[in-house]
Amino acid sequence: MVLLTFPAHAVLAPNVEAGRELASVTEAVGKRFPGQPIQSITRQDSGSYDVRVGTCRLKARIVTLPTPQGMVGPRQYTVRLTRPKCAAAKQ
């Protein structure tokens, strides 16, 4: 008898993973712009989002972190925000 072993990976359904990413982007933008409402978050491509908050626009990118050997579960990642481009406030 031959026994083969393979590393285990737990992949979430695409809609669940997209929901996790959106929640993470919302949290990161909320920390960067406390008290300002987010007008929109639009998914551009896999792991990239265009964000409008106040008079500013910025990009959010999902960056996958290395998975420690032997770890199973959903993908680990961080959110990187670009420098915001803000329009002058109307008076």
Who wins on pLDDT, 50 or 10?
Answer: 50
pTM above threshold 0.85: no
Cα(21)–Cα(53) distance, integer angstroms:
18
Q: What tens digit of pLDDT does each residue of 55-64 get?
A: 999 999 999 9
Q: What is the DSSP letter of 84?
A: P
Cα(43)–Cα(62) distance, integer angstroms:
11
Three-state secondary-structure class, residue 43: strand
Q: Is 3 a domain residue? A: no
Cα(40)–Cα(20) distance, integer angstroms:
17
CATH number for 51: 3.10.450.630
Q: Looking at residue 69, what is its pLDDT?
A: 83
Q: What tens digit of pLDDT does each residue of 67-80 get?
A: 888 877 788 899 99
Q: What is the tally of structural domains in the chain? A: 1
Q: Is 2 a domain residue? A: no
Give me Rg for the CA atoms of the chain. 18
**Structural domain harbouring 60:** 14-67+74-86
Q: What tens digit of pLDDT does each residue of 17-49 get?
A: 889 999 999 999 999 999 999 999 999 988 899
